[in-house]
Amino acid sequence: MCRASLTQEEPSVRARVTLVQADIRNFDLKRSFALITIPFRPFQHLLTVEDQIACLRCVRDHLAEDGRFIFDVFNPSLEILVNSDLGVETQTEPPFTLPDGLAVQRK
């Protein structure tokens, strides 16, 4: 999808993009980046702590000294997961409290 979308961009944009398909747990791009993002929750597909740590190590190895790492995760509600239609996103989630007492409200 990304490759197809990229064809619609200006040549100057296409020239700045390099697409790489790799395992999120084990890759070496031989350079560092000021910004690394993992959007759309793929980090949550890493089911073991070992896989999660491997991914974070790869990110650390590629992040510039003053770089930023942004990734998207969500706190799943078992009730919503069980009682919602498959594949339908919900924008409402009841507030919840973290173990440290911090209250979280999704807006």
**Cα 80 to chain center, whole Å?**
21
CATH number (domain holding residue 100): 3.40.50.150
Q: Which domain holds residue 53?
A: 2-104
% of the chain at pLDDT higher than 70: 93
At 26, the amino acid letter reads N
Q: Rounded to an integer, what distance in angstroms lies between the CA atom of residue 101 and that of residue 105?
A: 13
Whether the predicted pLDDT of 86 surpasses 80: no
Q: Is the pLDDT of residue 64 over 70?
A: yes
Number of domains observed in the structure of the chain:
1
83: pLDDT strictly greater than 90: no
**Residue 104 reports pLDDT greater than 90:** no
Place of tokens 């490759």: 3
pLDDT beyond 90 at 15: yes
pLDDT, average across residues 76-95: 74
**Residues forming beta bridges with residue 37, ordered by sequence position:** 70
